[in-house]
Amino acid sequence: MSVVSLSRQDEIGIITVDNPPVNALSHAVREGIVSCLAEANADDAIRAIVLQCAGRTFIAGADITEFGKPMKEPYLPDVVNELADSPKLTFAAIHGTALGGGFEIAMGCHYRIALRSAKVGLPEVKLGLLPGAGGTQRLPRLIGVPDALRLIVSGQPISARHAGELGAIDRTVADNLLEGAIEFAHDLVATQAPPRKVSARVIEAEEFDDDFYDEFRRSIARKARGYFAPERIIRAVRAAAELPFGEGLERERDLFLECMASTESKALRYQFFAERQAARIPDVPHDIPVRPVERVAVIGAGTMGGGIAMNFASLGIPVQIVDVDEAAIGKGLAIVRKNYERGVKKGRMTADQLEQVMGLFEPVTDYAQLSDADLVIEAVFENMALKKEIFGKLDAACKPGAILATNTSTLDVDEIAAATGRPQDVIGLHFFSPANIMRLLEIVRGKETSGEVLQTCIRLAKKIRKVGVVSGVCYGFIGNRMLAGYHREAWMMILEGAKVEQVDKALFDFGMPMGPLAVSDLAGIDVGARIREERRAAGNWPDDERFGLIPDRLYRLGRYGQKTGAGFYRYEEGSRTPAPDPEVAALIAEEAGRLGIEQRDISDEEIVSRCVYPLINEGARILEEGIALRASDIDVVWVNGYGFPPYRGGPMFYADTVGVARVYETICRYRDTLDRGHGYWEPAPLLEKLARKGGQFTG
């Protein structure tokens, strides 16, 4: 059966795309549209042509299964041009989403009608690309240069109603889309309206001078930092304003190819597929039965517990909040309410919806009340004894088959599971703070966690709009285990002569949202100090006074970071802007002198390699040990949980970009010059193996 068909209703030809699930622009779809369009134009009984889609959406974009493969004719720009050049009126009837090439197809038609519930957009920038089938040339002609720039550079879809207000949609209807499109076509045929080509519209280019484009660049500078595609989008849209349509298309094509060849786009496309791959677990069938999760309980009403609970309540799932007393729960729910109130102020929800969602939270102080919970997530302080005590209580209180999850960020999930009589039902669900916002969810699979429980949690992650990545059990799992070396080298380098602000700026310029020392101030130096104390008590800390020395000194001085107005930096009252502190510089110099460390100038290049290469080295060990299934899983964790720049793909993809052999050689050099016998820079066997064979982590 063809994925594109032509039918006729009176004098209106109807081309229907039926390529489930999202009517992606596969070769068969492109070929089918061109073929049906030619057939309709050759039929004298047809006077206008409506392009519609079956199923739940209009054309939602490119066919991702064709990514990275040679394209076959007809190419998408040719399909769009065929619709635009049709001698008979063409209409796009849009429902669901018309994104990327789907929206470009619609803009190629002479007229556009949409359900009011539909959305349109050009999200190519999210893959490091720009629209390559005339989107940068047609959209400015439809809605003007300023709005087109904002829409294409953001990549965010807009409602059909908004698109209509801007001029991209000609008519919207509440329902009966095909009937509305046919009526629209009849109306214009009756008036003998000629084809209306978007390409014929003229933009008054003199309205948009150098200052206009420079101001737009400044307005997006923070979000576009480090990205390649936004500047090419600006140049393409400017071409629409200043060049004839045909020349503008050529300019768009050249800029599209520049983007396609960029490391940024390769990294973003890699991340796109990596996120989807992360949900596939080789030894757990996708169709394994999963458990229903209709009632959730969260142990701990603190910031983390409240944020976790919001993920479920926002979907209409009732949540029990458990803590020692009503006062603690009330304090936690007050923070939750404030979070939702921000959503009301931003128009994301109404006041009535806020009250409805708050009604889904049930305060609980007695574990016996958790007997109906399908999923319980423990989110208390990182203390093994406390967590084991709680899981013993949950084992006694919860029904058979309930999933018992710990939000631990570092501790042994198997040891926690052993505190119950049902280790097969225990799993780690490591949310990242703020838990109601951060996309990453590390799903920690214990040695006895059942496949059913694992698959349930993988699907649940998607349901609550998280990117779930499965990790094995080890200290810190994937992300926090790797983080140790990142912070270690930042602490070492300030002792060796690098300025606090220099370390942070070098990594900020690399693409991190904040440098590691500023992050410590934000998270709380006291939090890290307590974790180090517990690790030392457990004998899980290197015998090296340098490791953690400066943050521990700051902790003992009561400098906890932003919360106390002083940490690695100082903060003016009420401000979160870090300012270099001479007292900290003096403290560092004093400790370096005491330890006999000769301070020197350290380059930004060394700062980046010494902080980032430990991530790669530890990632290699994590792969060897089977803690992570794939290098791409590690990259998904670091991009979504730790702010590693998406346009660099993640630590393991970045290693391949730099060259695994170069990374290995640099690590060996640091081992020989910096290690002092502690083994920090001993290269992982997998890293050495790949370097010697010319291999890659992600190839």
pLDDT band at residue 574 under the 50/70/90 scheme: confident
Q: Which pLDDT tens digit goes with each residue over 418-447?
A: 999 999 999 999 999 899 999 999 999 999
The DSSP code for 367 is: G
Q: Report pLDDT for 1.
A: 65
The DSSP code for 438 is: -
Residue 124 a catalytic site member = yes
- Residue 181 pLDDT greater than 90, yes or no: yes
CA–CA dist 428, 472 (Å, integer): 10
3-class state of residue 98 by DSSP = strand
* 645 shares its domain with 557: no
The mean pLDDT of 244-259, rounded to a whole number, is 97
* 385 shares its domain with 356: yes
CA–CA dist 305, 574 (Å, integer): 26
* 161 shares its domain with 73: yes
- Residue 280 pLDDT greater than 80, yes or no: yes
Q: Report pLDDT for 677.
A: 80
Tokens encoding 171: 């008519």
The C-alpha torsion from 588 through 592 and 595 to 599, rounded to 10°, is: 160
CA–CA dist 140, 238 (Å, integer): 9
Maximum CA pair distance of the chain?
Answer: 93
Residue 441: partners with Cβ closer than 8 Å, 6 or more residues away: 429, 430, 431, 432, 461, 464, 466, 467, 468, 469
Q: Report pLDDT for 75.
A: 95
Of the candidates 475, 516, 472, which has an alpha carbon nearest to the alpha carbon of residue 610?
A: 516
Q: Report pLDDT for 539.
A: 82
Strand order in the sheet with 89-94: 4-9, 12-17, 48-53, 89-94, 111-115, 171-173
Q: Report pLDDT for 67.
A: 76
CA–CA dist 59, 77 (Å, integer): 15
pLDDT band at residue 678 under the 50/70/90 scheme: confident
**Which range of residues forms the domain containing residue 541?**
478-505+514-602
| β-sheet bridge partners, residue 15 | 6, 51
Q: Among 602, 625, 649, which residue terminates a domain?
A: 602
CB-CB contact of 88 with 46 (8 Å): yes
Q: Which pLDDT tens digit goes with each residue over 304-346?
A: 999 999 999 999 999 999 999 999 999 999 999 999 999 999 9
Measuring CA to CA, how many Å separate 510 from each of 220, 225, 344, 352, 554? 18, 10, 35, 44, 27
CA–CA dist 36, 49 (Å, integer): 10
Pick the residue with more confidence: 556 or 381? 556
* 91 shares its domain with 230: yes
Average pLDDT over the chain reads 95
Q: Is 401 left (phi over 0), alpha (psi -120 to 50) or beta?
A: left
Residue 250: partners with Cβ closer than 8 Å, 6 or more residues away: none
The mean pLDDT of 334-363, rounded to a whole number, is 95
- Residue 249 pLDDT greater than 90, yes or no: yes
- Pick the range with the lowest mean pLDDT from 3-17, 353-367, 526-540, 664-678: 526-540
The mean pLDDT of 567-588, rounded to a whole number, is 94
Domain containing residue 445: CATH number? 3.40.50.720
CA–CA dist 340, 640 (Å, integer): 23
Q: Which pLDDT tens digit goes with each residue over 268-277?
A: 999 999 999 9
CA–CA dist 107, 104 (Å, integer): 5
* 595 shares its domain with 492: yes
Of the candidates 358, 360, 347, 204, which has an alpha carbon nearest to the alpha carbon of residue 296?
A: 360
Residue 285 within a domain: no
Of the candidates 621, 604, 634, which has an alpha carbon nearest to the alpha carbon of residue 698?
A: 634
CB-CB contact of 6 with 41 (8 Å): no
DSSP for 6-44 reads: EEEETTEEEEEE--TTTT-B-HHHHHHHHHHHHHHHH-T
Tokens encoding 354: 């806020």
CB atoms within 10 A of CB 235: 17
Residue 683: partners with Cβ closer than 8 Å, 6 or more residues away: 617, 664, 667, 668, 671
* 497 shares its domain with 442: no
Residue 104 a catalytic site member = yes
* 559 shares its domain with 645: no
Q: What share of the chain is helix, strand, coil (3-state, %, to 5)?
A: 55, 10, 35
CA–CA dist 6, 46 (Å, integer): 11
* 300 shares its domain with 231: no
Pick the residue with more confidence: 523 or 88? 88
CA–CA dist 632, 638 (Å, integer): 10
The DSSP code for 305 is: H
Tokens encoding 483: 């983080």
CA–CA dist 464, 474 (Å, integer): 26
pLDDT band at residue 201 under the 50/70/90 scheme: very high
Domain containing residue 670: CATH number? 1.10.1040.50
The mean pLDDT of 627-645, rounded to a whole number, is 97
Q: Among 602, 634, 656, which residue terminates a domain?
A: 602
Residue 288 within a domain: no
The mean pLDDT of 542-560, rounded to a whole number, is 94
Q: Report pLDDT for 207.
A: 86
Residue 555 within a domain: yes
CA–CA dist 531, 212 (Å, integer): 51
Tokens encoding 417: 């599971």
- Residue 550 pLDDT greater than 80, yes or no: yes
Tokens encoding 394: 């949950």
Q: Report pLDDT for 535.
A: 81
**Structural domain total, the chain:** 4
Domain containing residue 191: CATH number? 3.90.226.10
Q: Report pLDDT for 356.
A: 96
Q: Which pLDDT tens digit goes with each residue over 456-507?
A: 999 999 999 999 999 999 999 999 999 999 999 999 999 999 999 999 999 9
* 241 shares its domain with 108: yes
Burial class (CB in 10 A: 0-12, 13-18, 19+), 668: middle
Catalytic-labelled residue, pool 104, 252, 264, 275: 104
Residue 125 within a domain: yes
Q: C-alpha angle 124/167/30, rounded to 5°?
A: 45
* 132 shares its domain with 192: yes
* 100 shares its domain with 222: yes
Of the candidates 195, 14, 22, 25, which has an alpha carbon nearest to the alpha carbon of residue 109?
A: 195
Catalytic-labelled residue, pool 82, 124, 275, 501: 124
DSSP for 482-525 reads: HHHHHHHHHHHHHHHT--HHHHHHHHHHHT-SS-HHHHHHHH-H
3-class state of residue 621 by DSSP = helix
The 3 state secondary structure assigned to 137-197 is HHHHHHHCHHHHHHHHHHCCCEEHHHHHHHCCCCEEECCCHHHHHHHHHHHHHHCCCCCCC
CA–CA dist 320, 363 (Å, integer): 6
Residue 542 within a domain: yes
The mean pLDDT of 138-155, rounded to a whole number, is 97
CA–CA dist 501, 517 (Å, integer): 8
Residue 458 within a domain: yes
Crossing angle of helices 145-154 and 229-242, in 10° steps, is 160
Q: Among 583, 602, 621, which residue terminates a domain?
A: 602
Residue 272 within a domain: no
* 420 shares its domain with 494: no
Residue 413 within a domain: yes
Tokens encoding 146: 């300023």
